């Protein structure tokens, strides 16, 4: 009798929990590259992670075209029910989810003592901060910096009037901030019709 071999899984097999299919374009991608969508009280909810939500859900790339296609047909098909959401509303909810995630990540970093004015870590820089300091320029060159809103927007996330930049030393919160910044960058200024 020969021992049974475990089935060989393809690298992009969604059953391993790391790959999902976008309901907009139909392409498979790593779960962190997609937004999570689910229904709550008949309303489509959008988040950078699904958390503890239960029931049917869907995933979509944070791109204007994918959001359009998801709103028009992909969500209803995935949720197996009628879903009424305009593409521009889905875009607004995605940007709101990114802002919520960024605010939470910064709050957790601050609460855990992982927010600094300088040093090594992820540099979160305002888009209108002006010429970068040598430290920020090095962080940008090393890929350890993200742009997250204007001085006033970054300041509001930090609970002050305005901020040029801040350093996040928590790896987990830096990862969440990178995701939020990627969504914001992908959708900022985009038109979804």
Assigned token pair, 124: 């979160």
Higher local confidence (pLDDT), 77 or 189: 77
The confidence band for 11, taking pLDDT boundaries of 50, 70 and 90, is: very low
What sign does the dihedral 143-18-66-44 (CA atoms) show? negative
The confidence band for 3, taking pLDDT boundaries of 50, 70 and 90, is: very low
What fold does the segment set 14-89 form as a domain? Answer: Hypothetical Cytosolic Protein; Chain: A; (3.30.1230)
Q: What is the pTM of this model?
A: 0.80
What fold does the segment set 97-187 form as a domain? Answer: 60s Ribosomal Protein L30; Chain: A; (3.30.1330)
Assigned token pair, 7: 């089935």
Encode pLDDT of 21-73 as tens digits. 999 999 999 998 999 999 888 888 899 876 666 667 899 999 999 999 999 98
Specify whether the CB–CB gap between 28 and 14 falls below 8 A.
yes
**DSSP-assigned beta bridge partners for residue 19:** 30
Q: What is the pLDDT of residue 51?
A: 64
What ranges do the domains of the chain cover?
14-89, 97-187
Encode pLDDT of 109-138 as tens digits. 989 999 998 888 999 999 899 898 898 889
Secondary structure element (H or E) that encloses residue 115, with its range = strand 115-116
């Amino acid at each position: 009798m020969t021992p049974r071999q475990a089935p060989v899984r393809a690298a992009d097999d969604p059953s391993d929990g790391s790959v999902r299919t976008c309901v907009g374009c139909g392409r498979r991608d790593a779960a962190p590259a997609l937004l999570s969508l689910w229904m709550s009280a008949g309303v489509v909810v959008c988040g950078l992670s699904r958390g503890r939500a239960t029931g049917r859900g869907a995933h979509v790339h944070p791109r204007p075209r994918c959001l359009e296609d998801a709103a028009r047909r992909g969500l209803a098909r995935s949720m197996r029910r009628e879903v009424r959401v305009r593409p521009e509303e889905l875009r607004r909810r995605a940007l709101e989810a990114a802002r919520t995630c960024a605010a939470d990540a910064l709050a957790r970093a601050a609460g855990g003592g992982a927010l600094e004015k300088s040093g090594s870590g992820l540099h979160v820089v305002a888009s209108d901060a002006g010429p970068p300091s040598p430290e920020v320029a090095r962080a940008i060159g090393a890929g350890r910096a993200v742009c997250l809103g204007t001085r006033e927007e970054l300041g509001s996330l930090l609970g002050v009037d305005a901020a040029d930049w801040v350093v996040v030393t928590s790896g987990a919160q830096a990862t969440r901030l990178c995701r939020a910044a990627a969504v914001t960058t992908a959708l900022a200024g985009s038109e979804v019709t």
